[in-house]
Amino acid sequence: MITEKDALIIGPPGGLTFWAFEVLRALAKKNLEGPVEVVTVGVAQPVPAPVEHTAGRLLLTNYPGVEFIDAIEGLNVPVLYMSEEPSRVVNYLKEKTNRTNIEAIRVCSASYSANLALRKGPKVAVLDREMDINLPDLLRAMCAHLNLNIEATEILSYAAHITPKEMAEGKLGAAVRKFEGVADRSPSTDELAEILIPSVLDPLAALITRHEIAAVVWPRNAFYSAERPTEMAPVSIDLMGPARMLVHGPYMHLPPGKYRAEILVDLFETERDASFRVEIHAGEVCLKRVRFASPAPGRFAAAFEFLHPNAGPELQAQIITERGALDGRLSLLQVSFMPQQ
């Protein structure tokens, strides 16, 4: 349960967010009106009811669910959002949790579930890792936005505590690097990550920082073969054989909202009565089912709209051939999703 006395701190599971969580846990203890309760909310975890007679709460999460989104849209609560490049977040997850690239990207996509709501939030402040700001000024601004009343001497003392020893003046980037304790190096050169981070994660992250909205694109090599479920979908799929699912995946997350989806495929030597079905699933729920009958050979684009109502479930697209075939091939190019405002 989130109330108007709460403040929300949201960010992807990277170094900047966890640094900010630690900083705010320390500062909350120094609030002049009494200690502020700090609550970390995990994946799909309900927000507990507030304790009576407290000076408010700071609610921290990497994975904002329905309660957070409803509060952003319906309550006048302050929100502090942590923004850093998705490639940094993916690297941090790999370093700290030993996840693979695709696992880290999938986790990272879940952390952007509130980003459409945050675009319109009335009291949203963004803390960007690239900000050129000294630590005392930053801590003062964070406390003011989150309604923490802390003595100026306490802020200066804590800023000095988290300043790297080799620096005369603490800056945000240096403090986060010290906290991370991992190499600040270029992102992984994994081929799949180089494709998926710009096409899947960057548009989701940019919902907060840019006015323009870009489509989220799931490219072919993010999908899985239905015949060999643990392998990526082949470039070209032989349609000969019975009706069946051809590809599925990629089990990423999108913020709740209305989307215009477009699927782009190349068809070769398909039969006149060929019939295909595209389904969009959120977890076990089918959000949309669209049928395309007798598409001509060549490049084929099909667009449709659907509503994604709830944060949380992974999304997948399935392409299914509805008739057996003696000939033909299909090549999936991409599936894209454009949020509809």
Q: Are 24 and 35 in contact (CB under 8 A)?
A: no
In tens, the pLDDT along 304-327 reads: 999 999 998 999 999 999 988 888
| Least confident range of 25-29, 184-188, 258-262, 274-278 | 184-188
251 versus 209: which is more confidently predicted? 251
Whether 215-339 and 6-180 are alike in CATH topology: the answer is: no
Write down the domain spans for the chain: 6-180, 215-339
Q: Are 21 and 39 in contact (CB under 8 A)?
A: no
Q: Identify the CATH homologous superfamily for domain 215-339.
A: Galactose-binding domain-like (2.60.120.260)
In tens, the pLDDT along 75-113 reads: 999 999 999 999 999 999 999 999 999 999 999 999 999
d(Cα 227, Cα 122) in Å, to the nearest integer?
A: 48
Q: Helical H runs in the chain?
A: 15-28, 66-74, 86-97, 101-110, 115-120, 135-145, 152-161, 172-180, 191-196, 202-209
CATH of span 6-180: 3.40.50.300
Instruction: Say if strands 57-61 and 6-10 run parallel, antiparallel, or are unpaired.
Output: parallel
Question: 0.75 cut: is pTM over it?
Answer: yes
Q: Is the peptide bond preceding residue 250 cis, with omega within 30 degrees of 0?
A: yes
E strand or H helix at 52: none
From its phi and psi, is residue 168 left (phi > 0), alpha (psi between -120 and 50) or beta?
Answer: alpha
- SS3 assignment, position 212: coil
